[in-house]
Amino acid sequence: MLLEPKAEPSRAAGTETNPTGGPAPSTKERNKTMNANEVEKKFGFLVFPGLEELDLVGPWEMISLWGKSLQGPGTRLLVAQTRDPVVCAKGMSINPQITFNECPQLDYLLVPGGEGTREQVNNEALIRFVAGQAKACQAVLSVCTGSFILHRAGLLSGRRATTHWSALSRLTELGDVKVCQERVVRDGQVWTAAGISAGIDLALEFIGSVAGEAVAGKVQFGAEYYPSGRFFGTLHQSPQAPAYLKMKPDKQTKEDHL
């Protein structure tokens, strides 16, 4: 359960005025208006065969906590080419809620990654849907190798972006993307995240940018998302590890953690 925002103390009359001479809206009133506007917005999650489960489910959880408890987007949609069940990379089956043709204009669109992206970058209907929605979206986000779908849709040319560590070289080879070995990258209205679990961090960063750090903090607390900071083994220091991992100091040992 999330904690409800506490009401702000009332302000003395006449302490704020607007340009017309009347009393200006209080911070509480401004936040209420902003939140009401956000509730009306639509957040779409692209679904396709072979997507990586956590790429989708992690952000879905964060965005849904925001939407259900803290006046975030009131409409959250799993969007696919058809309404047929979609089998993910590890076997999870997802029931799409709406098709490309039925989908209204979204305010936000998230594109997961996974092994299925290698085929979906050549799916003209899917690419057309992403590109078309992006024209009026306030933000388009990808997790992991979902970045390759964004690129095929024409959204990454000349932009900073990231992807799963194992696909960084492939993203670089595209030639027109400024590849950043960071966990979350924002370039204008386009957001990209590194591999799999990074989608949770992406969602929290995005919520913070739209609704403020306090709201993102409530979502984080509601999800109890506080990674331990412990590294298992030494692969985080291997040559193929992304730069953002190598820059971190070694974390707790098993003995320190316990």
The catalytic residues are: 144
Backbone phi and psi for residue 221, each to the nearest 5 degrees, phi listed first: -70, -40
Give the integer Cα–Cα distance in Å for 224 and 125.
Answer: 38
Angstrom CA distances, 33 to 28, 138, 183, 210, 216, stand at 9, 18, 32, 13, 18
Q: Based on the number of CB atoms within 10 Å of its own CB, is 78 exposed (0-12), middle (13-18) or buried (19 or more)?
A: middle
**Which two three-digit tokens encode residue 88?**
């993910």
Closest to 4 measured CA to CA, from 69, 72, 74: 69
Query: DSSP string spanning 83-146?
Result: SS-EE-TTS-EE--SEETTT----SEEEE--STTHHHHTT-HHHHHHHHHHHTT-SEEEEETTH
The set of residues, in sequence order, having a beta carbon less than 8 Å from that of 19 and lying 6+ positions away, is none
Residue type for 172, please?
T
Distance from C-alpha of 201 to C-alpha of 207, rounded to nearest angstrom:
10
Please provide residue 238's backbone torsions phi and psi, each rounded to the nearest 5 degrees. Answer: -75, 160
Residue 231 DSSP code: P
